Amino acid sequence: MAIDQAERPACPCRIHGDSFRIPAPSWGRLIGLPNRIAAHPRPRTNGGCREHDTETMTRNQPIRTAFNVLLVMLPMVSTAKDWSQWGGSPQRNNTPDGHEIPIDWNIGAFDRPTGQWQRDRARNIRWVAKLGSQTYGTPVVADGRVFVGTNNGSGRVRRYPPDVDLGCLLAFDIDTGQFLWQHSSEKLPTGQVHDWPLQGICCAPLVEGERLWFVSSRGAVVCLDVEGFHDRENDGPFRAEPAQNDDEADVIWSFDMMRELGVSQHNMCSCSVTAFGTVLFVNTSNGVDESEVNIPAPEAPSFLAMDKHTGRVLWADASPGRNILDGQWSSPSVVVVDGVPQVLFAGGDGWLYSFLGTATEDGKPQLLWRFDTNPKTSKWELGGAGTRNSIIATPVVYAGRVYVAVGQDPEHGEGNGHLWCIDPAKRGDVSPELAFRADDLTRPIPPKRLQAVVPEQGEVARPNPNSAAVWHYTQFDLNGDGEIDDFYETMHRCCGSAAIKDNLLFIADFSGLVHCVDATTGRPYWTHDMLAAAWGSPLIVEDKVYVGDEDGDVSIFRLAADPHAAMQELNGEWHPINAFRNADGNVEVPNLGNSIYSTPIVADHVLYISSRTHLFAIAMPNPKPTADHQPETRPVSSASLRQTRRSHRQRHP
């Protein structure tokens, strides 16, 4: 179904006037950019057809060019040698530069008594570093160091043996994998309601120059010196570190969101922060309590803008308020449209919010637009049984558009999903639909937590003439048989985000499906079942797409819309290009020996992947793969149970 803005009727709603429009002052003055920049802001089958497309909305026009949507060169965009924040830049599109990145490897073996890596049989592995017992953090690389969040299972620092549960941010040498230092966050005394046992630091830090910023498991925004105490200096203003050894972190400042703002994080605090100029953006993780129903601090902020040098709060917003469904673990992104910087926050109410991405003169947030990612009649139910979702994924910006998928706490399991492409140039409520009372179609009713529209109560949803939805993907008849397969032709809940290159969008959902979608129109080209849940996001480097899963497999596809070009045929079925036949004749892909809950990255032509227990630096040159290569270990995880459940399905590309 095509949506043409010119064909939309005039909107009767009072909130869609010019009230959300703002003038365009010198944003450079507000964020501290040089006057020169401020004055000139820079801007499983190959099938399906439109007749069978019942759930994909597209616009007739292509993605706007830079002439219409001006994207500036944002600060802190990673260089080819670095990948200094989640997604490499505030746009969060995980598409780094790299060459000769391996598609096959052997991780070697680990000595059972000591856990030491034995590299004798390893291939294309530069080094391996031991992490904690549970790792969810995605590594980042900056200035000769690799940083990754985990727990204290490896007991790296002298004052905390491995039986002490901590949230840990580790720093390693990029060339050797040698451990440098660790920041340690002791567990909160309130327990799992705020700080779930053994989860550790689940986010990725932001690094710029000599400074690093991250959110701790205790709900603190922390700024560190990347040198630690290796420079023999205790950089301030914070100088009260309990230990100042070489293996400890040097704290510059720390801001406790629970103490200072009354935030009550749900289960954990996790946000991969980003920045624009001198402004740091943070999602606070404010959420429900252990009952999964009550919201202890609905007035506490969900979104923050901070001075990254001092930790001072510039503005705070509590928009989701009493409509928070569960937790809030997404991370912010930044897009600049027509010279106006926007920070994008995904709320725990299932709405995507855009605010003016600068400090404001009155210290108040300036909302530009908001977008409801759920159908109005969808319903939230405890334990993931419902159809209403929050947003765990991070919004991704590509060619002037915003892409975001919905999801839930992984403990809630699989469920229906939605993937949206949004035009960020609009203002106001830009949701696809508006909610009304059936007897009054002139005044939209306010958002509600559990169900926005309850037909039994005389409520209705109507198309929004001010909608910013470019397209919406939830299901698609790929093989053109006139029916929708409820697994292979359906978008499921996501924890991870999209990665986009050459107008091809790739995303892996929590049910284990990899989707290849036209980023311009939303038309799916193919799906592939990895037979294990995907927690992280794809990596696109050169002409290949890398996706890790909960079984520890890394599936690699060619960057292609044609599934027969993207995959290879083995044993009469279509598989990733790095798949091989093992000694038993079964098809496998390279494995890291334990679950992958993170996102692969590339920096300086090296592939970095953190498994549940180890960080791997994977790179050429090494002996070329041999035909008899087999993974050293095959992990057992909850995702493996899905293999039995799906074994009766006919696998197709």
Task: Give backbone dihedrals phi and psi of 457, rounded to 5 degrees, phi first.
Answer: -105, 20
Bond from prior residue into 237 cis (ω within 30 degrees of 0)? yes
CB contact at 8 A, 71 and 400: yes
Question: Is the pLDDT reported for residue 455 higher than 80?
Answer: yes
Task: Please give the pLDDT value at position 79.
Answer: 67
Alpha helices by DSSP H, listed for 241-330, are 257-261
Question: How much of the chain exceeds pLDDT 70, in percent?
Answer: 83
Question: Is the pLDDT reported for residue 496 higher than 70?
Answer: yes
CB contact at 8 A, 526 and 504: no
Task: Please give the pLDDT value at position 33.
Answer: 34
Cα–Cα distance for residue pair 357/279, rounded to 1 Å: 8
Architecture of domain 5-646: 7 Propeller (2.130)
Cα–Cα distance for residue pair 63/522, rounded to 1 Å: 11
Task: Please give the pLDDT value at position 624.
Answer: 42
**Domain residue spans of the chain:** 5-646
Task: Please give the pLDDT value at position 565.
Answer: 98
Number of Cβ within 10 Å of residue 118's Cβ equals: 13
Weakest-pLDDT range from 62-66, 159-163, 423-427, 463-467? 62-66
Bond from prior residue into 621 cis (ω within 30 degrees of 0)? yes
**What is the rounded average pLDDT of the residues 411-418?**
94
Q: Per-residue confidence at 653, pLDDT binned at 50, 70, 90? A: very low
Number of Cβ within 10 Å of residue 256's Cβ equals: 14
Cα–Cα distance for residue pair 627/148, rounded to 1 Å: 33
pLDDT tens readout for residues 128-149: 999 999 999 999 999 999 999 9
**What is the rounded average pLDDT of the residues 427-453?**
97
**What is the rounded average pLDDT of the residues 462-486?**
96
Task: Please give the pLDDT value at position 38.
Answer: 32
User: What's the mean per-residue pLDDT of the chain?
Assistant: 86
Residues 6+ apart with CB under 8 A from 343: 276, 281, 303, 305, 332, 333, 334, 354, 355, 356, 357
Cα–Cα distance for residue pair 122/620, rounded to 1 Å: 12
Task: Please give the pLDDT value at position 77.
Answer: 59
Cα–Cα distance for residue pair 497/391, rounded to 1 Å: 10
pLDDT tens readout for residues 227-260: 999 999 999 899 999 999 999 999 999 999 999 9
Residue 631: name the closest of 581, 567, 596 by CA: 581
Question: How much of the chain exceeds pLDDT 90, in percent?
Answer: 81
Question: Is the pLDDT reported for residue 106 higher than 90?
Answer: yes
Reading the block at residue 497, the tokens are 């985000």
CB contact at 8 A, 219 and 187: no
The secondary structure of 473-536, three-state, reads ECECCCCCCCCCCCCCCECECCCCCCEEECCEEEEECCCCEEEEEECCCCCEEEEEECCCCCCC
Cα–Cα distance for residue pair 271/303, rounded to 1 Å: 11
Burial of 542 (0-12, 13-18, 19+ CB in 10 A): middle
Task: Please give the pLDDT value at position 621.
Answer: 74
Task: Please give the pLDDT value at position 274.
Answer: 98
Question: Is the pLDDT reported for residue 450 higher than 70?
Answer: yes
**What is the rounded average pLDDT of the residues 18-35?**
32
Phi and psi based region of residue 219 (left: phi greater than 0; alpha: psi -120 to 50; beta: remaining): left
Task: Please give the pLDDT value at position 456.
Answer: 96
pLDDT tens readout for residues 590-648: 999 999 999 999 999 999 999 999 999 999 974 344 333 333 333 333 333 334 334 33
**What is the rounded average pLDDT of the residues 12-24?**
32
**What is the rounded average pLDDT of the residues 543-556?**
98
pLDDT tens readout for residues 307-336: 999 999 999 999 999 999 999 999 999 999
Integer CA distances (angstroms), 365 to 11, 141, 313, 342, 430, in order:
26, 32, 11, 11, 18
CB contact at 8 A, 645 and 413: no
Weakest-pLDDT range from 41-50, 81-90, 495-504? 41-50
The distance between the two most distant Cα atoms of the chain, rounded to a whole number of Å, is: 75
Task: Please give the pLDDT value at position 236.
Answer: 87
CB contact at 8 A, 348 and 324: yes
